[in-house]
A and B are shown apart, each in its own frame.
Chain A
Amino acid sequence: MKRRIVAVTTLAAAAAVIASACSSSSPSGTQPSTSKAAGLLSTSGAGKTISVWLQSDAQKGWPDVVNQANQRFEQATGAKVNVQWQQWSNYTTKLDSTFAGSSGIPDVVELGNTQTASYIAGGAFADLTAAKAQFENSGTWLQGLADSGTSPDGKLQAVPYYAGSRVVIYRKDLFQKAGVTTAPTTLDELFSALDKVKASKSSDPNFSAFYSPGKNWYAAMSFVYGAGGKIAEQQGGKWQGTLSSSEAQQGLTQWQKLSTQYSVGGATKDESDQDAIMSQGHVGAILGNGWELGSVIDKKTGNPALASKLATFPLPGTEAGKYTPSFLGGSDLAVPQKSANVGLGAEWIKIFTDTQSQTALAKFAIPNTTSLLSVYESQAQANESTGEAAKNTWFVPNTPNWANVESANILQNALESIATQKSSIADAAKSADDQIAKTLNAGG
C-alpha cells in the first residue's frame, strides 16, 4: 500500500515537473488549441467552467458587481463561472498547498497586495504582460496596487482589483461639544483638538479622544512615512530596516503620543475591533478604512444610532495641506500558472476590472484606477476623505520576503512595546530593524 502511494506520487511529481517545464516557457502554451490567435486572452470557452476564488468581502459588499461581470463573461466566451468565496484566515496556507499540487487549481485568485510579491517570486502566476494593453485603464492603475502585481523584471503577473485607504473617522458631535468645529489641518491642530475633546470628557475614565490600538502598524507606519522615514530600504542589494532613522523615530514619537495620551485600553490590541469599540460611544476618533464608518453604524456590527454623528477627514500632516500618507491596502487578481484555462481566466479579470465593473465597484471601495476616483468620491462624504487619502499613500517594501515580516508580527511586537512603554522607541526600533533586515535578506 505504502509503496504504491509512493510510486503514484513519484509519477505525479514527474508529470508536474514536465508540465511546469512546458508551461513556464509560455503560460498560454498549455492551451494552444483553445486560445485564439489574438494572444493571451481567450474568448472561446463553450462548454467550459472557470473557477474564481474571491474573498467573501465581495459576496457581502458588492455581489452585484461580481454578477454583472460573470454575465458579461459568459456572453463573451460561452464559458460558465464558478465563484468560490474564500476567507482571509489561513488563506496563504490554502493557496500554498493548492499551488503545490495539481488538482483543484482555480483559474483566478484574489490576493492581498502585500502577499502578492511572494507568489510572483514563487512563479505561481501566469505572465499577463502580453494582455496588459487590453486591460482597460491599465495606464492609470493606482501606482501602489499596480506595483504590487508587477514582477521585479517588469512583468505583469497580477491585476489591481480594489484599494482602501485610511482616514480619521470622528464623532462630529463630541468634537463640536468640545469646541472643535473645523477639521484639523495639521498634526499640531489635531493634538490640540484632541486635548479639548479629552478635557470635555474628563469625567469618563474609559473615554479615548483618539482610540489608537498598540498593534496598528498601518497607523504607526503612516506617521513614520509622514515624517519622512520609511520601514526599510535596499542598499547595494541588501535590505536594511530604517525605523531607527531620526525621521522614523520622530514619526513613532507622534504615534506614541496619540496612542498613550489620547487612547485608553488598546495598548495590547490590534485594529480589528476598533469600529465595534467606537460604536460603544466612548471613543472620539479612530484611524480607519473608509468602510469602517459603515461598520460603526451597521446594525449587525455596530450601533445605528451613531449614523448622523460621524464624519471623516484625512489624517493631517506636519504642515497644512500636506496629509500624513495612508497605507494603500487592497487586493490583486491573478491567474495561477497551473490553471487549465489561463486565457479564460485572464479574460474574466479583464471584464471584472474594466471601466464598467470598476464604476459599479466604486460605490463600495476605491476602484483600481485614478480615472474613476471622482466617481468614488462623489458617493459619500467619507469617500472624499478616503479618495483624497488615496492620492498620497505609502506601501510596504515590495519584496517577496515582506509577507514574512507581517506573519512574524515584527512591527506589531515593536509597536506594542512602544505603546505600553515597556521599551524606548529607540530600542524597539533597533530591534525591529534587525529582525526586518534578517527576514528580508533571507536567502535561497
Chain B
Amino acid sequence: MTATADVTAAQTTTAALKAPIRRHGARRRYATWAWNALAMVLAVVIGFPIYWMLITAFKRSSDITTLTPQFWPAHPSLRGFSDVLHDPIFIDDMRNSAIITLSAVLISLVIGFFGAMAIARFRFLGRKVFIFAVLIVQMIPLLALTIPMSLLLDSVHLKNALLGVIIAYLMFSMPYTVWTLRTFIANVPPELDEAALVDGCSRWQVFYKIILPLVGPGLIATGVYGWILAWNEFVLANTLLLTNDKQTLMIYLLIFQSSPVHGADWSGLMAAATLTSLPVVVLFVIFQSRISAGLTAGAVKG
C-alpha cells in the first residue's frame, strides 16, 4: 500500500472511522485546548517584536530607550502617525510601491503558473534546462546585480521608471512562483485533467477551470511571498529609481534614520513601518479566509 492510498478504498472506510472519533471526542477537545494554548504562547513570543514596533510608534522619543523598559507608552502620542499621514510623499510612495508590487506579483503569477504547468504536467525536451535555469537565477546575489541591472535598464531607457523596477523584480518573484506552484499543481491528481478532457474540456479549460481553483492556496502563498519581497526590497529600488516622485516606501523609511545633521526619529520610523506593513497584512488576512474555505472542501480527493 502506498501513501497515496487507493482513494476509493479510503473513502469507504471513512464511515467506519467516524464512530471511534466521536468516542474520543472529550479527549480531543482537551488536546485542542492544549494546542490552542501553545498557539497563543507562540503568538505572544512571535508577536512581541511587532508589539514593540507598535508601542514605539506611540511613544515620546524620550520614552523609547529607557533603563526600565516601558511596556506601555507612558505618554502616548499620535505624533509619529500624524507626521507620516500628513506627508504627501508618503502617499506618493505608497502608490509607487503598490503599482510596482502589484504588477510584479500579477505578472509573476500568470507567467509562473504557465511555466509551472509545463514542468508539472509535461515532459519535453529542454525541461531540465528550464528547471535548472529557474534554480540558478534564484542563486544570483541581488547585491551583485545593482550595476549590471542598472546598466541594462539604462540601455533600454527604463532607468527611473516604475516599469524598469517591475521587470527587475520579476527576476526573483517569477522563478519562485514557477517552483512553488509546480508542487501545488503536482499535488492535483492528473486523473482530474483526464476526466475533464474526456468530458470535452479543452486544454485551456482544464487549466483555468480545474487546476487554477485547486492551486488557490499555492497561488496565495506564492503571491504573498512575491508581494513581500517586492514591497520590502530596497537596494535595487534605491539604485534604479532616481527621483522622489518615483521612489518606494522602503526609500521613504530612510528619511527617519539619523544622518550627519539630525538624529533618528524612531517613533516616526516605527509609525511609518507599521503603516507600511499594514496593507500587506490586511490584504492577506482577507485573501486567506476567502481561499482557505475552498481549499478545505476536500477537492483533492478526486
Binding site for B on A (CB under 8 A): 5, 8-9, 12-13, 51, 55-57, 60-61, 82, 84-85, 87-90, 93-94, 96-98, 100-104, 106, 112, 164, 206, 272-273, 275-277, 279-280, 282, 289, 291-292, 294-296, 298-303, 305, 329, 364-365
Contact in complex: A164, B61 (CB < 8 Å)? no
- Report 10 cross-chain contacts, Cβ distance below 8 Å, ordered by A residue: A82-B243, A94-B242, A97-B240, A104-B242, A299-B60, A300-B61, A300-B268, A301-B262, A301-B266, A303-B61
Q: List, in ascending order, chain B residues with CB within 8 A of A103's CB.
A: 154, 157, 159-160
Taking the complex as formed, is B52 at the interface, i.e. its CB lies under 8 A from any CB of chain A?
no
Contact in complex: B154, A280 (CB < 8 Å)? no
Contact in complex: B60, A98 (CB < 8 Å)? no
Q: Which of B147, B152, B234, B263 contacts A90 (CB 8 A)?
A: B234
Q: Mark B73-97, 1 if CB is under 8 A from A, else 0.
A: 0000001000000000000000000
Q: A87-B255, A276-B65, A305-B62 are in contact. List 15 more A-B contacts (CB 8 A).
A: A5-B152, A13-B155, A61-B261, A94-B242, A97-B150, A97-B239, A101-B151, A104-B154, A104-B243, A164-B260, A164-B261, A279-B62, A299-B60, A301-B266, A303-B61
Q: Which of A9, A273, A280, A295 contacts B262 (CB 8 A)?
A: A295
Q: List, in ascending order, chain A residues with CB within 8 A of B255's CB.
A: 56, 87
Binding site for A on B (CB under 8 A): 60-62, 64-67, 79, 146-147, 150-152, 154-157, 159-160, 234-235, 238-240, 242-244, 251, 254-255, 257-268
Q: List, in ascending order, chain B residues with CB within 8 A of A82's CB.
A: 243
Minimum C-beta distance from A201 to chain B (A): 14
Q: List, in ascending order, chain B residues with CB within 8 A of A296's CB.
A: 263
Contact in complex: A96, B147 (CB < 8 Å)? yes
Contact in complex: B244, A84 (CB < 8 Å)? yes
Q: Which of B160, B259, B264 contacts A276 (CB 8 A)?
A: B264
Smallest CB-CB separation from A57: which chain B residue?
Answer: B261
Q: Which of B66, B235, B251 contacts A280 (CB 8 A)?
A: B66
A296 to B264, CA, bound (A): 11
Q: Contacts A97-B239, A103-B159, A104-B242 given; indicate if A61 touches B257 (C-beta within 8 A).
A: no
Contact in complex: B155, A9 (CB < 8 Å)? yes
Contact in complex: A61, B154 (CB < 8 Å)? no
Minimum C-beta distance from A102 to chain B (A): 6
Contact in complex: B265, A301 (CB < 8 Å)? yes
Smallest CB-CB separation from A103: which chain B residue?
Answer: B159
Smallest CB-CB separation from A53: which chain B residue?
Answer: B242
Minimum C-beta distance from A265 to chain B (A): 11
Smallest CB-CB separation from A275: which chain B residue?
Answer: B263
Q: Contacts A5-B156, A94-B239, A97-B150 given; indicate if A280 touches B62 (C-beta within 8 A).
A: yes
Q: List, in ascending order, chain A residues with CB within 8 A of B265's CB.
A: 300-301
Which 5 residue pairs across A and B have the least CB separation, nearest first?
A: A101-B154, A301-B263, A295-B263, A303-B62, A97-B150
